[in-house]
Copies of this chain bind each other. A is one copy, B any other.
């Protein structure tokens, strides 16, 4: 049967074109949400029709998944080469990220909108965000474990709670900041809260809510 040359490799410029599309999609999905962000608008940004985008990604669902992965990769590249900081360095890194985020509201908004939208019925981004939070909580918890060990402590439940809390404040502050940047200082407040949580995780003090009443 025929000389099966089944599949050609993509042309050299194609990877760049795809990245253009992913960047445009991140912008549109960030500004309007996934459900409300039409392919046609993404297409227009890169000088194509929406059919062209479907040619590259097959469906809008798959486009979202790739957009989320793309955002991760470009983030990791941007900050530093793969290496995950551990112990106290991770927290310094998170705080630096909060400061960097103040300069890129578009990215912050995309992340905030898409993560919340991911909990809705049949959202194609859900698995990504489940995984992402699991991984991030693991990394933060590990950093806490390292710092606990340095101090001769070992309180796993407290460490897990602190890890989830650190990510939660950062996310929650982003929403408030997006709604009204004049009322919330994203970075300074993130730093304050991360510090508070870290201190309580590493050197707990008695609850002020138990006494008196």
Contact of A133 among B121, B171, B176 (CB under 8 A): B176
Q: When A165-B196, A197-B196 are in contact, do A117 and B33 touch as well, CB less than 8 Å?
A: yes
How far is it, in angstroms, between the C-alpha of A119 and the C-alpha of B178 when the chains are bound?
A: 7
B121 near A31 (CB under 8 angstroms)? yes
Shortest A124–chain B CB gap in Å is 12
Shortest A117–chain B CB gap in Å is 6
Contact of A172 among B129, B169, B189 (CB under 8 A): B169
A91 near B209 (CB under 8 angstroms)? yes
Residue A22 interfacial (CB < 8 Å)? no
Residue A112 interfacial (CB < 8 Å)? yes
| A contact face: mostly helix, strand, loop, or mixed | helix
B192 near A196 (CB under 8 angstroms)? no
How far is it, in angstroms, between the C-alpha of A91 and the C-alpha of B31 when the chains are bound?
A: 34
Residue A188 interfacial (CB < 8 Å)? yes
Number of contact residues on A: which range applies?
Answer: 35 or more
User: Which A residues between 132 and 165 are near B, CB-CB below 8 angstroms?
Assistant: 133-134, 137, 147, 158, 161-162, 164-165
How far is it, in angstroms, between the C-alpha of A31 and the C-alpha of B122 when the chains are bound?
A: 10
How far is it, in angstroms, between the C-alpha of A189 and the C-alpha of B129 when the chains are bound?
A: 20
Contact of A162 among B164, B192, B203 (CB under 8 A): B192
User: Chain A 162-183 against B: per-residue CB contact (8 Å), 1 yes, 0 no?
Assistant: 1011011111110110111001
Residue A88 interfacial (CB < 8 Å)? yes
Most buried by B among A33, A115, A147, A165: A165
How far is it, in angstroms, between the C-alpha of A91 and the C-alpha of B164 when the chains are bound?
A: 20
Residue A79 interfacial (CB < 8 Å)? no
Shortest A198–chain B CB gap in Å is 6
| Chain A interface (Cβ < 8 Å from any Cβ of B) | 31-33, 35-36, 88-89, 91-92, 95, 109, 112-113, 115-121, 126, 129-130, 133-134, 137, 147, 158, 161-162, 164-165, 167-173, 175-176, 178-180, 183-185, 188-189, 191-193, 195-203, 205, 207-209, 212-213
